[in-house]
Chain A
Amino acid sequence: MSTKMQWVYTEKVKDHFVNPRNVLDDEDSFGADGTGMVGSMACGDQMLVAIKVRDGKIAECRWKTYGCASAIASTSMMSEMVTGMSLEAAYHITPKQITEALGGLPEHKFHCSVLGDKGLRAAIDDYLEKNGLENPFTKSVANIVCECVGVTDQAIEAAFKAGAVSYEAIQTATGAGTVCGKCREKTEAILEEMEHLYGKNHE
């Protein structure tokens, strides 16, 4: 039997897991310009992202994560990637880019990496809101889910956050799925992701 067995994840994942970068040690003294909290403890993943913004760029990105090795490593990776990035570019960072930078994650661990970019977006949203600024990015990251009614994933997310936590409630709130019904599967997939991000009984 070989004693040098491979770790479940790539060396890069291991490195970020064991030596995480930019962990938020002291929230109070960090003095964030924007913070975002996503995920739910009940699902086993929760994340806090705090950013400092200078000249439209992310000057510092700190985080805390309750989650598995993939979640920790992908947040750590993300925090390195976005430092120095313009708000716009940071807002558009995708889980795919993060996982690629990590050298890949097993497919069933992919959902563990979606929190990083969501947390970052939430932090940027928070920053813009606090400073009374328009959010110019939201639209560009929206995807049409229901073609018939023209409902985007963001509209579904907003409805979920407002309490529409079932498929039927989403239908009532947004109109998605009320014509041909072909978008049901996609909508339900988003719903599942939302449950993971914000908890099942989000209110």
Chain B
Amino acid sequence: MNSRFVYFDNNATTPLDPDVRERFIQALDLYGNPSSMHMFGRQAHEGVEWARGEVARLLGSLPEEILFTGGGSESNNTVLKSVLHPDFPRRKGKVITTAVEHPCILETAAFLKRFGVPVAILPVDSEGKIDMNRYVDELDDSVALVSVMLANNEIGTIQDIADIAKLAKQHGAYVHTDAVQGVGKIPVDVEELQVDYLTASAHKLYAPKGVGALYRRKGAPLFPLIHGGHQEKGLRAGTINGPSIIAFGCAAEKAGSLLDEEYIRLLRLRTKMRDGILASVPDVMINGHPEDVLPGTLDVSFFAAEGESILLSLDIEGIAVSTGSACATGSLEPSHVLMATGMDAELAHGSIRFSLGRFNTEEEVDYLLEKLPPIIERIRKMSTISRKEVHQ
């Protein structure tokens, strides 16, 4: 087994930052229920409210506009399912979303549809941007909610949320963005984006799993997904996960302070990786938007080499990546995101996502660039289509 370990799967989840880890461990001793009035509860409560302030600061919102949830999927479900509530303005009004959303949006949209909510799924172009003309066509005064992700988890394409929101506002629709992949990597400001709701997740920010945030603009309608106690203003029942939330706050604080420097550093690493792959491996295609893209996300399609084979070969060398083919999960369908960009299934099956993060170094990119070309060559040699179609 290889002695080197390189983690290039930060979009799936991030390692714990050592500072966050320390804070988390300290917070584990704040066992009081933040809802309790005694000293133990107050201490925990204080930590949670500090974290709320930090998350708010990272998003440019007010602390009281931040709601802690059990994660990104829960935040997204809460917003989307709110349109079913009898008190939601334009109840069962149309919902507009996109073909490249995370499954927790697409599946929830399909669920809404079964409840009679009209749902429009916007197509994207070959670089992953939504079709603005189609969007404008779908927009009318019956629209209750527009939900478009800020940055795509697979190809990293960043959508023009501010423009999308501006147009939605003209029709009185509420706007949500799933910003799980964007927060902490690119500047995110709810005022600039003009959104009513925004989803963030702690474990994409070097904090523990199982905690997320939902920004809700003051006055925007929202109804609980989980009923019970009066925690989080009655919008999310359940004992507050103090330690994880405090770790989230710490992670948000750190992400904010490192934002500019990390953006530049990751973009440089991504460029190096992209150029290195293009120079050393023939017949590849870089996916996503050339400029409006997350600094640490590089999605590459390798002609005539199947994704899982590449993934496992890299794994043997100690390099962790993810694939755009779902073969590893037993499904024959390649990634819905790549298919939505109009890519051939063949090519999509040979796609690999490299996602860089805070702890990746230039040496690691060099290491990948050393290991990858022979792997692709080896796989292509065995491939049925390495013969004619490719090297020409």
Binding site for B on A (CB under 8 A): 3-4, 7-8, 14, 17-18, 20, 23, 25, 27, 37, 41-48, 64-69, 71-72, 108-109, 111-112, 196
Neighbour of A72 across the interface among B5, B309, B325, B345, CB < 8 A: B309
9 A–B contacts from the bound complex (CB under 8 Å): A3-B1, A17-B309, A17-B312, A41-B345, A43-B332, A44-B345, A64-B386, A67-B306, A108-B329
Main secondary structure of the interface of A (DSSP, over half): mixed
Contacts A23-B382, A37-B384, A65-B384 given; does A44 touch B332 at CB 8 Å = yes
Given contacts A66-B304, A68-B327, contact A46 B312 (CB under 8 A): no
Picked from B330, B332, B345, B385, the residue with its CB within 8 Å of the CB of A66 is B385
Which of A17, A42, A64, A69 is in CB contact (< 8 Å) with B384? A64
Contact across chains for A23 and B330 when beta carbons are under 8 A apart: no
CB atoms of A112 and B327 under 8 A apart: yes
Q: B26 at interface (Cβ–Cβ under 8 A)?
A: no
Contact present for B306 and A4 (CB under 8 Å): no
A68 and B382 contacting across the interface, CB-CB below 8 Å: no
Chain B interface residues toward A at CB < 8 A? 1, 3, 5, 304-309, 312-313, 315-316, 325, 327-330, 332, 334, 344-346, 349, 381-387
User: Closest CB of chain A to B375's CB: distance in Å?
Assistant: 10
Q: Which residues on the A side are within 8 Å of B349 (C-beta)?
A: 41-42, 44
Supposing A4-B1, A41-B346, A44-B306 touch, asked if A72 and B327 sit within 8 A by C-beta, the answer is: no
Q: How long is the Cα–Cα vector from A23 to B386 in the complex, in angstroms?
A: 13
Whole-angstrom distance between the Cβ of B107 and the nearest chain A Cβ: 20
Partner of A44 from B312, B334, B387 at Cβ < 8 Å? B334
Q: A3-B1, A41-B345, A42-B345 known; A69 and B312 CB under 8 Å?
A: yes
CB neighbours of B305 from chain A (8 A)? 66
* A44 contacts B325, C-beta separation under 8 Å: yes
Q: Once the chains are docked, how many angstroms separate the CA of A44 from the CA of B386?
A: 14
Residues of B within 8 A of A64 (CB): 382-384, 386
**A residues in contact with B385, CB < 8 Å:** 41, 46, 66
Given A23-B382, A41-B349, A42-B345: A68 touches B1 (CB 8 Å cut-off): no
CA distance A14 to B2 in the complex (A): 14
Give the distance to chain B from A166, nearest Cβ to Cβ, in Å.
18
Q: A18 CB to closest chain B CB, in angstroms?
A: 7
Extra pairs beyond A23-B382, A68-B309 (16, CB < 8 Å): A3-B1, A3-B3, A7-B315, A18-B313, A27-B387, A41-B349, A42-B345, A43-B345, A44-B306, A47-B384, A48-B384, A64-B386, A65-B384, A66-B304, A69-B309, A72-B382
For B315, the chain A residues whose CB sits under 8 A away are 7
Most buried by A among B5, B313, B332, B382: B382
List of A residues within 8 angstroms of B332 by Cβ: 43-44, 111, 196
Closest 7 CB pairs of A and B: A108-B330, A68-B308, A42-B345, A44-B349, A41-B346, A66-B383, A64-B384
**Closest approach, in angstroms, between the C-beta of A132 and any C-beta of chain B?**
28
Task: Name the residue of chain A whose CB is nearest to the CB of B305.
Answer: A66
Most A CB contacts (10 A, CB to CB) among B316, B325, B328 go to B328
How long is the Cα–Cα vector from A148 to B386 in the complex, in angstroms? 46
Instruction: Collect the chain B residues with CB atoms within 8 Å of residue A17's CB.
Output: 309, 312
| Bound CA span A142–B385, Å | 31
- Whether B316 and A65, one on each chain, are in contact in the complex, defined by CB atoms closer than 8 angstroms, is no
A68 and B328 contact, CB distance less than 8 A: yes
Minimum CB–CB distance from B376 to chain A (whole Å) comes to 13
Q: How far is the CB of B332 from chain A (nearest CB, A)?
A: 5
A180 to B377, CA, bound (A): 53
